[in-house]
Amino acid sequence: MPLTNMQVRDLENVVHPYTPLHKIRQTGPMMLDSGKGIFVRDDQGKEYIEAMSGLWCTGLGWGDEELIEAGIEQLRKLAYYHNFAGKGTEPQVALAEKLKEVAPVPISKVFFTSSGSEANDTQIKLVWYYNNAIGRPKKKKIISRMKAYHGVTIASASLTGLPYNHIDWDLPLDFVKHTTCPHFYRFGEPGETEEDFVARLVRDLEELIAREGPDTVAAFIAEPIMGAGGVLVPPETYFPAIQQVLDRHDILLIDDEVINGFCRTGNWWGAQTMNMKPHTISSAKQLTSAYAPLGAVMIPDFMYEAMEQASAKIGLFGHGFTYGGHPLGAAIGAKTLEIYQKRNILDHVRGVTPTFLKRLHALADHPLVGEARGRGLLGAAELVADKTTRRPFDPKAGVGAQCAKFMEKHGLIVRAIGESIALCPPMIITEDEVGELFDRYERALDETEAWVNKEGLRAAAA
């Protein structure tokens, strides 16, 4: 079909992130026009189930009048102010109080940013600042994991463990070290049990720390469930085993809850779902149900005390963002957390999760699907060329991307992460809507299977 006028205008003026720029001129962008509940419409009037909550973030769906009114009211009252030089606003105080109330571990203070990337970038700086303050200037390295996703600033993209965030970007920076990805289906060795796999990952981490020197390693950062790496769920024993290593070497655990947080995994926090005991926490995305940009870093008392002492030595705390704690984002964030509580969103997620996971896990019977995995309302199906050997398709064949296109044809927006087709629907989704989501998903999988067979892509992957 010929491109519309709006698509042409977009292509002439906008750079699209995480997009094959060499192909988009032929296909054109999808132009979204409106949304309500779990549905969005494009500018041609076609309706889709938005099964990714945008970018893992619109937990309350589109058109929530309470959130809209909270934003309008704050804009009328005080459209902007900063929190530099001891200034403050009521919305950020209210939101910080709510975050401390629902935090999975004791939290002393909240530092606000504009995004998850800024939050994780700030985590690095605070860990460095903290170790300098307590007299450990060599303890600065951060351990992340292969296939992790922690953002796109120079520092947070270094934490990320995905090739397309590093190749030709001159990343990662050398203070970041990556250890083994805890995805048993893809990285478990032949004959290895999950317990063996976890034991090997513990050894890998121990060896990495020993090579680098424990006195140089400051922190380990982890998503409870790895989102943009493909919705990778670690074994149940993984985090308790890893945490013993970190505690033994006095290494902080940074919990990246940017995707996992706020009821998504069936608990308020992914850390609770995956049995993590973090020292600091990053959040964003569902913090405002994406109705305004906002991120937050939650820190313990011992870290804040050291920051206060360093400020006394230096003269001030020299870090902050123009829009950190923006009153619009903070007001919407406080209202979002209030809604999660008063509408019992956590109970709703727990109520629809069995249906969601039953339909998700049933996808494992499809000829294309090697593994279907998830927790709460977060999941993915991994497409493979051979179910028995787990042999993947040739990445150049673009099977995942083509599957996502077929899903759009059937009125479903998903995210193809390589050959993992991710789902993260708004948490307000009903059981009937879950059924319709998976009906569309399965029709698109069948169409993908027919296309794979027609193109001979299983043989090409051999």
Q: Is the pLDDT of residue 324 over 90?
A: yes
Q: How confident is the model at residue 375 (pLDDT cuts 50, 70, 90)?
A: very high
Q: pLDDT of 260-291, one tens digit each?
A: 999 999 999 999 999 999 999 999 999 999 99
Location of each CATH 3.90.1150.10 domain in the chain: 31-63+344-461
Q: pLDDT of 91-102, one tens digit each?
A: 999 999 999 999
SS3 annotation, 240-269: HHHHHHHHHCCCEEEEECCCCCCCCCCCCC
CATH of domain 31-63+344-461: 3.90.1150.10
Of residues 291, 293, 348, the one with CA closest to residue 64: 291
Q: How confident is the model at residue 461 (pLDDT cuts 50, 70, 90)?
A: low
pTM of this structure: 0.96
Q: How confident is the model at residue 462 (pLDDT cuts 50, 70, 90)?
A: low
Q: Is the pLDDT of residue 236 over 70?
A: yes
Q: pLDDT of 403-441, one tens digit each?
A: 999 999 999 999 999 999 999 999 999 999 999 999 999
Q: How confident is the model at residue 2 (pLDDT cuts 50, 70, 90)?
A: confident
Task: Write down the residue that tokens 């083509």 correspond to.
Answer: 402
What are the Cα distances from residue 403, in Å, to 240, 271, 364? 36, 32, 16
User: What is the architecture, at CATH level 2, of domain 66-342?
Assistant: 3-Layer(aba) Sandwich (3.40)
Question: Which token pair is 418?
Answer: 């390589």
Q: Is the pLDDT of residue 1 over 90?
A: no
Location of each CATH 3.40.640.10 domain in the chain: 66-342
Question: Which token pair is 397?
Answer: 């064949």
Q: pLDDT of 126-176, one tens digit each?
A: 999 999 999 999 999 999 999 999 999 999 999 999 999 999 999 999 999
The distance from CA 214 to its chain's CA centroid, rounded to whole angstroms, is 29
